[in-house]
Structure 1
Amino acid sequence: MKSIKLISFFFFTTCILYGQESVDYQKPPKEILDLVDVPLAPSVRIDNKGENLVFLYRDSYKTIEELSEKEMRLAGLRINPKTNISSRANYYNNIKLKKTNDKEAIQVIGLPKNVRITNFNWSPDQNKAAFTNTTSKGVELWVLDISEGKASKITDANLNANMGIPFKWFRDNSALLVKFLPSNKKQLIDNEEAVPTGPTITISEGAKAQNRTYQDLLKNPNDEYNFEQLTTSEIKKVNLDGTSTSWLSEAMYRNFSFSPDGKYVIATTIQKPFSYLVPYRRFPQETKLYKSNGEEIKTINKVPLSEVLPKGFMSTRIGKRSMTWRKDQPATLVWVEALDNGDPKIEVKYRDEVYQLKAPFNDTPKSILKTINRFGGINWTNNSELAIAYDYWWNTRNTKTYIFNPSKPNQKSNIIHDRNYQDRYNDPGEPIKIKNEYGYSVINIDNDNIYMVGDGYTKDGQFPFIDKLNVKSNETIRIYQSEYTDKVENIYSAIDIKKGDFLVRIESPNEYPNYYIRNIKTAKNLKQITAFENPFSGIQNVHKEVIKYKREDGLELSGTLYLPVDYDKSKKEKMPMILWAYPVEFKDKTSASQSTSNPNKFTYPFWGSMLYWVTRGYVVLDGASFPIVGEGNEEPNDSFRKQLIANGKAAIDAVNTLGYIDPERVAIGGHSYGAFMTANLLSHSNLFAAGIARSGAYNRTLTPFGFQSEERSYWEAPEIYYTMSPFMHADKMKTPLLLIHGQADNNSGTYPLQSERYFNALKGLGATTRLVMLPKESHGYRAKESILHLLWEQDQWLEKYVKNRKKLK
């Protein structure tokens, strides 16, 4: 009897020992590695005249050492408390300048060693640019002189960049308004070392607060204290020679902005009480108006704590919101207020009303527009008597575009577009803008005409265009359309509308994207202004095509198909396949069937891409259509699982019909909601050999007040939450599943616990699964070590359970 107990104990402890693996960071095979560790082309900025280019260079990835720097997660912010900037900031490490007529870029002089650049921002006249440099001690402010090609530091490392960009240019280009750390900043509290003085208590007094599942919230009084210390700034005026004067005293400044004429400033501060239920964006706030010398004029808005909002995606708070300056006026404030108490369930003729208040801000605010749907924004123009506004309504996917006269609010607005915003084939595009006298981008109106730039998606392919739209007659004339059938020409901005000069970017599957100046009046006149080389030569000739196929209910689907490197199509060898997708909800089948995939786009393998595996003998179907459609009174999720399976089967059948794959060796994978899709497909179908699910959510009862595009709460639709949750059906999992998650995931609903608990359920029920938790990583992965290991994990999984599946039988 003792021997039996001993054997049982040995077996039990052995299982525990082999339940975990201690693995150092690994690297993928050379074929993949050669495509990962390549230099990136710079980010390109161009001035309004189309004369000067700024090239901002960066490394492809961060290091795990960088991600391991001290981080505080407070009220939706992630802060490095030592440097006082976002701990997740992306940095550039070099700047070069180039005239559009020059062949080579020149190196900017004066940059410090190991520079870490962010918050690059042109001066109003675009003769200079300001940016921040993050050192080991903090954040400095630098200014770049474009003509001299020289950068100079104008402050020490004591800026407060914890709430975003910490500076604004004065209108005359001579100085900047800058947020600094307060001189008497107090020492922060270390929660791990602090001795509690009492429990943490959160109160509900009966009001419904149906909030999404936020992360990084405040949790206790120590967090409140640290949040206040880290968001408190004092604002100073800093001249270009580095001299400074005090401008505003200490407060928790969220943002501030100059009026177009530079004579006034509005500054919004965060107020108490704080909340443990919502992020800082919904904390109380107060907006004050100042003169450009810092003299306070008045308080123009007070917003209470917004823990409780009406239910629904289209809900909003009451009172003034979206306060900003009119870009076409010297100093006029504009804001919007809800006419339905912010409650989408209340039936009203108009949802929102827009108001304006001109300097000196003593009159009664004037109404200038009412919108039928929820207000979405205003584009101002170079004509003070014309403006263009937008609204939207999620439940119907409807958006409207209004032409109105802000000077005559009694004059009826004209709706020029009333459409389904998911209908990409009929998207009219975005208005072309120019810089006005205040340096702001406004829509150019020329003899009652505006110019629209569109992506140009059609059933026959993508053909970007420029249209001329008459705002009075609503007549549209196409004045330019890209004619490329083997390339993609993206139209970015107007350099000179009268001359017909536009900035465009042209690319092809094996031609790296580069910038050109296109004259649309003489369409063949194309001037190349950058010459970036293709760093991914190893896959530049891989076969790529967009395939279209139908679901069993007749819905047309599509995906971008890649064949393995050096694949001989004539032999039709049966290869393993990776299907990568992300579900999208629609309210009509017409929009759901549209394709925005373009085989002529550059073949670019980013960190999360499956394209690397064309070098390993796999067919890849990337961006496969996975629409979830709910028409009329039916919600998309009412038939979520059924439609998922139909989408997956249609994709496999389509590629199998082409003769390229072995349908018994197909992997399914996705990230975030794509991971959720993957787990559902493996639980409820036998279509796939294995799956890869990254940073997903698997138990929808942990997100009870809605998720993704689901508005209903768990208590309103418990059967939907149950049916859609892979965790609830873990006993049905019979297919190998690789789970990967960042340990510092801050995306709403996809906290790491989702993968941990799902893995425990799968393991407890005997499923073949592996859980990889990446230290320090958030919802998207950043460190080079993490990404190389991710690729290694995926390669190992695919080789074992997909490519060599037959050998296991």
Structure 2
Amino acid sequence: MKNIIAFVAFLFVTTSFFGQEKLKYQKPPKEILELVDAPLAPSVWIDSKGENVLLFYRDAYKSIAELSETELRLGGLRINPKTNIGSRTRYFNNIKVKEATTKDAKQIIGLPENARISNLSISPNEKMIAFLNTSGNGVQLWIADIEKGSAKKLSTLRLNANMGNPINWFKDSNALLVNAIPNNRKELINISEAVPEGPTISASDGEKAQNRTYQDLLSSPNDEYNFEQLALSTIKKVTLNGEVSDFLPTAMYDDIDFSPDGNYVMVNIIKKPFSYIVPYYRFPFETNIYDKNGTLIQKVNDVPLNEVQPKGFMATREGKRSMRWRADKPATLYWAEAQDKGDPEVKVDYRDAVYELAAPFKGKGRLLLKTINRFSGITWGNDNLAIARDYWWNDRNTKSYIFNPSNASQTPKVIFDRSYQDRYSDPGNFVTTRNNYDERVLEINNGTAYLMGDGFSEKGQFPFIDEYNLKTQKTKRVYESTYTDKLENLNSAIDMKKGKILVRIESQNEYPNYYFRNIKKKNDLTAVTSFENPFKSIQDVHKEVISYKRDDGLELEGTLYLPIGYDVNSKEKMPMILWAYPREYKDKSSAAQSTTNPNEFIYPYYGSPIYWVTQGYVVLDDAAFPIVGEGDEEPNDSFVTQLVGNAKAAIDAVDEMGYIDRNRVGVGGHSYGAFMTANLLSHSNLFAAGIARSGAYNRTLTPFGFQSEERSYWDSPETYNTMSPFMNADKMKSPLLLIHGEADNNSGTYPLQSERYFNALKGLGATARLVMLPKESHGYSAKESVLHVLWEQHEWLEKYVKNKKNIGE
């Protein structure tokens, strides 16, 4: 009788809970709440010599009050018009400093009260750090002396951080260029109160403009006006003594970059006409070179509005793009130009050509090299040697070239030619060092460069450093991590000649900390940081990476956690949560590779399912969900079949281990993982319930491509329809919890996706719940929102997964 009363009480509580329409923010069980409230370790910066360490502290979450501050969404940006900085900026609230070899850090004194610190910028000589502090009146420039451990406000100027970082150091470290609010900036239009003067009209002149489904775009003349006012800046020079002088007049400045020698400044300026279909970074702009006194030297680029470009992920615009300074030269520009008109459908031997142009920047530029795929970057060495990289999405190929910058007639030599999805064959990244211009260039010692890699292999992960003979292109391994119970990440080289490198070491229950390692001396390890594990309540949870096979033989893996206190010998059947995110591959061998290290620290971030090990659940996190399409077949041609195959293999594997009741398995995911969840509940009977956060469910609303699908809806309507949970809402088989931020700005996952999908499910009689989070974007940042999401998920799992048997299902 007591059990019947308890069961009736359970039904009463859950029924009334799910029937409510108005609900204040809730909190999850105390075991989960304690993990959320754990203090956040600081971010770490270590200077290039390995001498000084800066620690930057912040709260893990914003408050809903902070998230509710005024926000304008214009041209792909989200701006607080009162403070003139991105409305979604994450702030630090404290800075400490320490010597690398000492344990205790010292407080930076003189920091602003109730600090909201952002846009940290280290001076070229690494002695000072400039930063912004945001108050109710706007953004102001502050500076801290690292050696003295003191900070001060450098200027009372109101800065403009709407278009990115407004801080740029002069190369001598004695002054900065900053973007200031113009004195004559006009008042913004209150769009909610403005009286329209006419309709908003967009037109098509017959050219194809197959753009992604961008959000936060301009949509009216009033938007255009407000965007321009918020983008306008006046460039000022501020010395370390706080003296302010004019540098450049008012314009819409987007990017400012000093030449390596500090004698020139490259400046991008946004121009009109604006667009209603693409973000601001595709608006017209020009690139000018000024000297260090602000005198115009040369216009080096003039780019028109880029609304229309060829179709495909590898499409790009024509003309000069990716313009940068050569790191090894005093003042030489380089850039890429498409040789296929930016159209991946055009067959050419070389997709891109790379040119350079030295001061005084006149002429068309000198050819450096041509790349077979789309150019992606250069690591500069010296006059006779540099490393270039390219990539091609369609076959996932990437190439690296050694070339001679001084002689374009010498054919570049391809040194690496591989699939960038093939982690086992990854040779690593070339190690760089700071040159006399404070720029990163290739580290070369007696004809030898160095490669630093993650070290994934069939035997596990063992990060490494290789010597690379630049003449013979042969490698010699000089260091390989030997840990089997920890994970050692190779962070950077401090002094390769002496063998001193910076590493980060962690284990399942050992918080990640930094160390200096001398690879020339055995077991030579010096601690730099000593952070404690803030999540001790789950430090002893059972964790392992399990491997299993899909029905077609494809190797898969996932990270398995057992509930706290679970006796592995008992084989008690527990409920399980499976959490995943699908990824597309062009070959099965890459898809089958093991890239999960079991020794990674157990970190329960806000979106993690790991919290539920405290509530009696088995958790299979980051389960492999590869979607493979080899040759001419696209991965999405068999998306649903492979999706279900992945899920079945995961459940079978854990079930065979004897840990779970396979009738009480829930599935969840965020973004594309939410899309996966909805599809799994529609096309299989594997799950008791699902949780889908911030997803897209109707692919006809993203008709010109989504995720890794570059075909349009009209190219392959069957793919879009088959993959859309909305089109298959009548097949929904299990209860689904939908959660979405009301201010989602991610391409394609606008809130309408969840709203219309929920209405379809409700209209068809499916069990579903829709939770819309006020003010939240694609990821959730207010603590109130995060706690409520965890509560919603917990209540859903308790009712529809853990207690499924109890309610007669």
Unaligned runs of 5+ in 2: 1-14
1:738 aligns with 2:737: yes
Tell me what 1:186 maps to.
186
- TM-aligned CA deviation for residue 19 of structure 1: 6.9
Tell me the SS of whatever aligns to 2:584: strand
What residue identity is the alignment partner of 1:726? P
Counterpart Cα distance in 2 of 1:129 and 1:403:
36
What residue identity is the alignment partner of 1:602? F
What residue identity is the alignment partner of 2:636? N
Counterpart Cα distance in 1 of 2:461 and 2:368:
38
CA deviations 1:358-403 (Å, max 9, x no partner) are 112234410001000000111112x221111100000000000011
- TM-aligned CA deviation for residue 734 of structure 1: 2.0
Q: Is the 8 A contact 1:581 1:674 kept in 2?
A: yes
CA deviations 1:729-750 (Å, max 9, x no partner) are 1011120000000000000000
What residue identity is the alignment partner of 2:670? H
Q: Is the 8 A contact 2:486 2:505 kept in 1?
A: yes
1:241 aligns with 2:241: yes
CA deviations 1:200-254 (Å, max 9, x no partner) are 0011000000000000000000000000000000001101111111000000000
**Structure 1 residues 157 and 565: CA distance shift in structure 2, 3 A:** farther
Tell me what 1:9 maps to.
none
- TM-aligned CA deviation for residue 152 of structure 1: 1.1
The worse-fitting range, judged by mean Cα deviation, of 402-411 and 148-157 is 148-157
What residue identity is the alignment partner of 1:388? I
1:522 aligns with 2:521: yes
CA deviations 1:525-572 (Å, max 9, x no partner) are 100011100000000000000000000000000000000001100101
Tell me what 2:580 maps to.
581
1:571 aligns with 2:570: yes
What residue identity is the alignment partner of 1:635? E
Tell me what 2:172 maps to.
172
Tell me what 1:338 maps to.
338
Q: Is the 8 A contact 1:166 1:178 kept in 2?
A: yes
Q: Is the 8 A contact 1:135 1:157 kept in 2?
A: no
What residue identity is the alignment partner of 1:683? S
Tell me what 2:43 maps to.
43
Tell me what 2:287 maps to.
287
Tell me what 1:471 maps to.
470
**Structure 1 residues 294 and 617: CA distance shift in structure 2, 3 A:** same
Q: Is the 8 A contact 1:179 1:236 kept in 2?
A: yes
**Structure 1 residues 19 and 615: CA distance shift in structure 2, 3 A:** closer
- TM-aligned CA deviation for residue 20 of structure 1: 5.9
Q: Is the 8 A contact 1:139 1:156 kept in 2?
A: no
Q: Is the 8 A contact 2:157 2:180 kept in 1?
A: no
Q: Is the 8 A contact 2:298 2:362 kept in 1?
A: no
Q: How does 1:314-333 map to 2 (within 5 A)?
A: 314-333=314-333
What residue identity is the alignment partner of 2:760? A
1:26 aligns with 2:32: no
Task: Return the TM-score normalized by structure 1.
Answer: 0.97
Tell me what 2:207 maps to.
207
Tell me what 1:7 maps to.
none
Counterpart Cα distance in 1 of 2:319 and 2:174:
37
1:117 aligns with 2:117: yes
Tell me what 2:5 maps to.
none
- TM-aligned CA deviation for residue 671 of structure 1: 0.3
Tell me the SS of whatever aligns to 1:511: coil
Unaligned runs of 5+ in 1: 1-14
Tell me what 1:489 maps to.
488
What residue identity is the alignment partner of 1:105? A
Q: Is the 8 A contact 1:339 1:351 kept in 2?
A: yes
Q: How does 1:76-115 map to 2 (within 5 A)?
A: 76-115=76-115
Q: Is the 8 A contact 1:388 1:404 kept in 2?
A: yes
Q: Is the 8 A contact 1:491 1:503 kept in 2?
A: yes
Tell me what 1:256 maps to.
256
Tell me the SS of whatever aligns to 2:534: coil
The worse-fitting range, judged by mean Cα deviation, of 445-454 and 542-551 is 445-454
CA deviations 1:75-102 (Å, max 9, x no partner) are 0000000000000111100000000122
1:396 aligns with 2:395: yes
Tell me the SS of whatever aligns to 1:102: coil
Tell me the SS of whatever aligns to 1:369: strand
Counterpart Cα distance in 2 of 1:659 and 1:534:
31
1:785 aligns with 2:784: yes
Counterpart Cα distance in 2 of 1:65 and 1:55:
27
Tell me the SS of whatever aligns to 2:512: strand
1:607 aligns with 2:606: yes
CA deviations 1:639-673 (Å, max 9, x no partner) are 00000000000000000000000000000110000
Counterpart Cα distance in 1 of 2:19 and 2:339:
58
Counterpart Cα distance in 2 of 1:395 and 1:112:
50
Tell me what 1:160 maps to.
160
Q: How does 1:766-781 map to 2 (within 5 A)?
A: 766-781=765-780
What residue identity is the alignment partner of 1:243? E
Counterpart Cα distance in 1 of 2:256 and 2:364:
23
Tell me what 2:9 maps to.
none
- TM-aligned CA deviation for residue 157 of structure 1: 5.2
CA deviations 1:764-795 (Å, max 9, x no partner) are 00000000000000000000000000000000
Aligned sequence identity (%): 67
Q: Is the 8 A contact 1:401 1:415 kept in 2?
A: yes
- TM-aligned CA deviation for residue 523 of structure 1: 3.1
1:387 aligns with 2:386: yes
1:230 aligns with 2:192: no
What residue identity is the alignment partner of 1:123? S
Counterpart Cα distance in 2 of 1:35 and 1:109:
31
Counterpart Cα distance in 2 of 1:19 and 1:759:
15
Counterpart Cα distance in 2 of 1:645 and 1:680:
9
Tell me what 2:546 maps to.
547
1:353 aligns with 2:315: no
Counterpart Cα distance in 1 of 2:802 and 2:480:
44
What residue identity is the alignment partner of 1:775? P
Tell me what 2:428 maps to.
429
What residue identity is the alignment partner of 1:355? Y
Tell me what 1:72 maps to.
72
Tell me what 2:415 maps to.
416
What residue identity is the alignment partner of 2:775? K
Q: Is the 8 A contact 1:581 1:623 kept in 2?
A: yes
What residue identity is the alignment partner of 2:665? V
Counterpart Cα distance in 1 of 2:462 and 2:103:
29
What residue identity is the alignment partner of 1:410? S
Q: Is the 8 A contact 1:356 1:365 kept in 2?
A: yes
Q: Is the 8 A contact 1:180 1:235 kept in 2?
A: yes
**Structure 1 residues 18 and 627: CA distance shift in structure 2, 3 A:** closer
Tell me what 2:136 maps to.
136
| Superposition RMSD in Å | 1.2
